[in-house]
């Protein structure tokens, strides 16, 4: 445990919780912290990490709150965005220097807020799939995004979402197949999320939304930023993504990956790694 340029981080502690970490690549290389989304864990970045490691980057990917077995508080309040950001800040403090921060899906949302609130800890930001929270909020009110995001409301219900996602042959499987998940990835979700006991806590990330500060929608981003979206995304529409640039007061790049599903880290790892490297190259 613990971290420096000469030791691996296998776990770290914050808020009385213990988080498991995958730390790979040259210890003296530039550090990229990778935040997974729902319903995935740190290993979803495996292909991206390998590419970045070959390019000389050290990659640090945590199993986040609710996903790590020793970091599973039960209250909705414990999954507000501020708490999730606090976990990332503690990880960066453990690493001991500013990092290149990347996130996919829910991990992107946490990355946006971390970069907005703690720019001194973030050298560059790469967001996959999910745009700036302000762009997301305005898109929900002024576009078809609310139709893509129906499950945000459904996941507020107690118990039912978990039952919906765990019943054999459940509708959630067809939902994820439609989103682009392969049979192998569905099996990984079963093993790494459902069988691992993470699902009720992962769903509670959505239940923590009402406890999150509305101020996150006004955060300005002042570090070099890349927004990567794929046109096969069934969860996030283009309108929300195109609104993101107005919240960034730094070098900004938007990349659209044609023919790629929502699951960019696993379905487009070369493009994902290239986007992280591009963001990092703009760090002054």
pLDDT for position 77: 96
| Assigned token pair, 145 | 């995004």
Q: Which residues pair with 101 in a beta bridge?
A: 33, 125
Residue 186: inside a domain = yes
pLDDT in tens, 217-251: 999 999 999 999 999 998 998 988 999 999 999 99
Residue 6: inside a domain = no
Residue 1: inside a domain = no
Domain that holds residue 112: 11-281
Residue 240: inside a domain = yes
Separation between Cα atoms, residue 245 and residue 22, nearest integer Å: 31
Residue 225: inside a domain = yes
Number of structural domains (the chain) is 1
Q: For residue 6, how many other CB atoms are within 10 A of its CB? A: 7
- Write the CB contacts of 191 (distance below 8 Å, at least 6 apart in sequence): none
Separation between Cα atoms, residue 199 and residue 115, nearest integer Å: 27
Whether residue 53 contacts residue 26, with contact meaning beta carbons closer than 8 Å, is answered with: yes
DSSP E strand stretches across the chain:
11-14, 17-24, 31-35, 58-62, 99-104, 122-128, 225-232, 252-261
| Assigned token pair, 240 | 């929300």
| Assigned token pair, 250 | 């730094």
pLDDT in tens, 39-85: 999 999 999 999 999 999 999 999 999 999 999 999 999 999 999 99
Residue 3: inside a domain = no
What CATH number corresponds to the domain at position 104?
3.40.50.1820
Residue 4: inside a domain = no
Q: What is the pLDDT along the chain (284 residues), one digit of tens a residue?
A: 444 566 899 999 999 999 999 999 999 999 999 999 999 999 999 999 999 999 999 999 999 999 999 999 999 999 999 999 999 999 999 999 999 999 999 999 999 999 999 999 999 999 999 999 999 888 877 667 766 666 677 778 778 778 888 876 666 788 888 899 999 999 999 999 999 999 999 999 999 988 988 899 999 999 999 999 999 998 998 988 999 999 999 999 999 999 999 999 999 999 999 999 999 998 75
Residue 5: inside a domain = no
pLDDT for position 214: 83
């Amino acid at each position: 445990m613990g971290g420096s340029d000469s030791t691996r981080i296998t776990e770290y502690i914050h808020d009385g919780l213990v988080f498991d970490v995958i730390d790979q690549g040259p210890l003296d290389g530039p550090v990229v912290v990778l935040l997974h989304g729902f319903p995935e864990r740190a290993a979803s970045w495996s292909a991206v990490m390998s590419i970045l490691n070959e390019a000389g980057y050290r990659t640090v990917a945590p199993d986040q709150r609710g996903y790590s077995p020793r970091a599973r508080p039960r209250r909705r309040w414990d999954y507000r965005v501020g708490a999730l950001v606090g976990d990332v800040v503690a990880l960066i403090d453990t690493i001991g220097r500013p990092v290149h921060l990347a996130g996919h899906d829910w991990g992107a949302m946490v990355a946006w807020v971390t970069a907005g609130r703690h720019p001194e800890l973030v050298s560059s930001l790469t967001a996959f799939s999910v745009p700036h929270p302000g762009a997301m909020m305005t898109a929900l009110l002024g576009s078809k995004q609310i139709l893509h995001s129906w499950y945000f409301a459904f996941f507020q219900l107690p118990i039912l979402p978990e039952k919906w996602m765990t019943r054999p042959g459940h509708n959630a499987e067809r939902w994820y197949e439609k989103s682009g998940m392969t049979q192998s990835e569905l099996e990984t979700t079963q093993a790494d999320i459902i069988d691992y006991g993470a699902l009720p806590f992962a769903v509670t990330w959505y239940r923590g939304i009402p406890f999150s500060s509305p101020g996150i929608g006004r955060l300005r981003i002042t570090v070099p930023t890349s927004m990567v979206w794929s046109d096969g995304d069934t969860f996030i529409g283009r309108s929300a993504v195109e609104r993101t640039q107005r919240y960034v007061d730094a070098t900004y790049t938007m990349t659209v990956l044609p023919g790629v599903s929502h699951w960019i880290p696993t379905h487009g790892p070369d493009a994902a790694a290239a986007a992280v490297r591009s963001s990092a190259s703009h760090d002054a």
